[in-house]
Amino acid sequence: KNQVEQSPQSLIILEGKNCTLQCNYTVSPFSNLRWYKQDTGRGPVSLTIMTFSENTKSNGRYTATLDADTKQSSLHITASQLSDSASYICVVSSNRDSSASKIIFGSGTRLSIRP
């Protein structure tokens, strides 16, 4: 069964600290993995995308990693800011044809940054 599991479910850290969010998936066949950020009251917004051959990708203070062998991904946030408070959703796609792609969502990690 295609599944995406994220941990932790929620996380509270102090402003300026680093944190790492985890994503494990069992989706097959694998096309790509994306991390989305969802601010309260808004729709998710893509942060990074990785395909099978990529094992790390950065977007500012966000760095995503992918281990396609163990089917694990992580999102590392450096020097957290109050604006990083949001839900972070791991999304795995299983088909290269976006019109028929199977897109499986994780349930997200709720990150809260405290001043």
Partner 1 sequence: DTAVSQTPKYLVTQMGNDKSIKCEQNLGHDTMYWYKQDSKKFLKIMFSYNNKELIINETVPNRFSPKSPDKAHLNLHINSLELGDSAVYFCASVGSSYNSPLHFGNGTRLTVT
**97 touches partner 1 by CB under 8 A:** yes
| Least spacing, CB of residue 16 vs partner 1, in Å | 26
Selected binder of partner 1 within 57, 71, 76, 110 (CB under 8 A): 110
Q: Which is nearer to partner 1, 18 or 112 (CB)?
A: 112
Q: Coil, helix or strand for 87?
A: strand
Q: How far is the CB of 10 from partner 1 (least distance, A)?
A: 10
Length of the chain: 115
Q: Which residue has the tokens 């199977």?
A: 102
Does position 91 bind partner 1 by CB under 8 A? yes
DSSP structural state of residue 65: E
87 CB contacts (<8 Å, ≥6 apart)?
37, 38, 44, 108, 109, 110, 111
99 near partner 1 (CB under 8 A): yes
**Residue 51 Cβ vs partner 1, minimum distance, rounded to whole Å:** 7
Diameter of the chain by CA atoms? 44
- In three-state secondary structure terms, 99 is helix
State the residues that interact with partner 1 by CB under 8 A.
31-32, 34, 36, 38, 41-46, 49, 51, 87, 89, 91, 93, 95-101, 103, 105, 107-108, 110
